[in-house]
Amino acid sequence: MSEQQTAQGQRRVVVVGAGMAGVQTAVALREQGFTGPVTLIGAEPHQPYDRPPLSKAILLGKAEGSAFEVDFEALDIELRLGCEVTGVRAGAHELDTEAGPVPYDVLVIASGAEPITLPGAEGVQGVHLLRTLDDAERLRPVLAEQHDMVVVGAGWIGAEFATAAREAGCTVVVVEAAERPLAGALPAEVAAPMADWYAEYGVELLTHARVADIEPGAVILADGRQLPAGAVVVGIGARPATAWLAGSGIALGPDGAITADAYLRTSLPDVYAVGDCASFPSGRYGRRLLVHHWDNALQGPRTVAANVVGGTPGALPPEVYDPVPYFWSEQFGRFVQYAGHHEAADTTVWRGDPADAAWSVLWLREGALVALLAVGRARDLAQGRKLILAGARLDQDRAADPLVPLKAAVLA
């Protein structure tokens, strides 16, 4: 028993990160019967909140906040907010924070991800990111004033912000260095039809376009074009927020993510990692996955909690984390959902015409469904996610017919 354990012999769990993954870890510990001390540390001063509404209701002034409906006091979870964690000293089982050392018996790292900044744009007046509640609060009056907006990056967050800006009445230009939207997320033939959504919504999309400089009121592209810009929003991706772990002994991958094992344990004893900051080996897909999406931050904590609670002699075997990744995006009047991981697929099957309002794409590997993208076809997603979990093989001809329910395309 370590020196940090209480007189009652209960282990002290400290969770770093008060976003979805951190909050859900603390809650799941209580739900699964953990009775020891639980401390949740967050760098932001705000009550822990959900992030998806930031690019939607909060940005447009339709909601004032998105705090989690969790009674931390009733659950006996200690909150330490506005507290920056600067390091881990594994030998002492202590965290270094701005407010002094914090002892732990079990540490859960849920520090999330941080947005990638545009080189040369940091600190420039009128340049914004959209990751935190403070970011959304700064951007809300900008949209209300209907500035000319330039969005750098045609990924998920760029498309969602462009949608909100158009709804607010702004003129919007999206600048993308690649040849299409979502170049790093989806195959060319799937992402290509989505380029038309921008023009349909009144947004100008510039591909093969790189930002050379940002001046007051303008964005200068590498080819010399000058775009009017009352404000600039940068959405070019995110990376795991793990720089503070330097020298800790916790192993990181080349992508900066903590390399957790199948039980979400790190390379250090008594330390777990969950959510956007950690990758994990997927037996289902035969590769390590780094998933920067809400559902991963919701599901992973249950596994961590189960393994923390079970980490005593005679307990059940540790629980493996191997989910079917899932995310959604609301953009340009469409509801887009994705489940699975398509990179291992050998066959692509279309359900419907991408020129229509609703369609899906299926990815198969040796006949088995491994991923799907659904645009306005929620039933496809719901059924498909279950079929991926089951490893179901599909009749390709029936699966390609949008009138046939996906579950009816399963081979006996």
Residue 1, domain member (yes or no): no
Last residue of a domain, one of 206, 234, 262: 234
| Span 83-142, pLDDT tens digits | 999 999 999 999 999 999 999 999 999 999 999 999 888 778 899 999 999 999 999 999
Residue environment code for 180-212, b if the CB has 16+ CB neighbours within 10 A, otherwise e: bbbbeebbeebbebbbebbeebebebbeebebe
Same-domain check for residues 18 and 104: yes
Distance from C-alpha of 376 to C-alpha of 379, rounded to nearest angstrom: 9
Of 234, 250, 266, the residue that ends a domain is: 234
DSSP letters spanning 35-102? -S-EEEEESSSSPPB-SGGGGTTTTTTS-S--B----TTTTTEEEEES--EEEEEGGGTEEEETT--E
Residue 316 lies inside a defined structural domain of this protein: no
**Tokens standing for residue 128:** 């914004």
Q: Which domain holds residue 188?
A: 117-234
pTM here is 0.93
Please identify, among 201, 234, 267, the residue that sits at the C-terminal boundary of a domain.
Answer: 234
Strand order in the sheet with 204-206: 127-128, 231-234, 149-152, 172-175, 204-206
- Structure tokens, 181: 């939207």
CA angle 80, 82, 88 (to 5 degrees): 70
pLDDT by residue, tens only, the chain of 412 residues: 344 344 334 899 999 999 999 999 999 999 999 999 999 999 999 999 998 888 888 888 887 778 999 999 999 999 999 999 999 999 999 999 999 999 999 999 999 999 999 988 877 889 999 999 999 999 999 999 988 999 999 999 999 999 999 999 999 999 999 999 999 899 999 999 999 999 999 999 999 999 999 988 999 999 999 999 999 999 999 999 999 999 999 999 999 999 999 999 999 999 999 999 999 999 999 999 999 999 999 999 999 999 999 865 545 568 999 999 999 999 999 999 999 999 989 999 999 999 999 999 999 999 999 999 999 999 999 999 999 999 999 999 999 999 999 999 999 8
Q: Pick from 356, 346, 363: which is nearest to 400 by CA?
A: 363
Number of domains in the chain: 3
Residue 328 forms part of a structural domain: no
Residue-wise pLDDT for 253-293, tens only, equals 999 999 999 999 999 999 999 999 999 999 999 999 999 99
CA distance 400 to 40: 47
Query: In this structure, what CATH number is given to the domain that contains residue 70?
Result: 3.50.50.60
Residues 140 and 225 reside in one and the same domain: yes
The reply to whether 170 and 227 lie within a common domain is yes
> Would residue 6 count as lying in a domain?
no
Residues 107 and 204 in one domain: no
The CATH number covering residue 375 comes to: 3.30.390.30
- Tell me: do 251 and 229 sit in the same domain: no
128 shares a domain with 73? no
Instruction: Say yes or no: 110 and 157 in one domain.
Output: no
Are residues 223 and 244 part of one domain? no
Long-range contacts of 389-397 (CB under 8 A, 24+ apart): 389/324, 392/368, 393/366, 393/367, 393/368, 393/369, 394/349, 394/362, 394/364, 394/367, 394/368, 394/369, 396/347, 396/349, 396/364, 396/367
Residue 184 counted as domain residue: yes
**In-domain check, residue 20:** yes
304, 353: one domain:
no
* Residue 363 and residue 385 share a domain: yes
Task: Answer whether residue 122 is part of any domain.
Answer: yes
**133 and 190 part of one domain:** yes
* Residue 46 domain-assigned (yes or no): yes
If asked whether residues 34 and 70 sit together in one domain, one would say yes
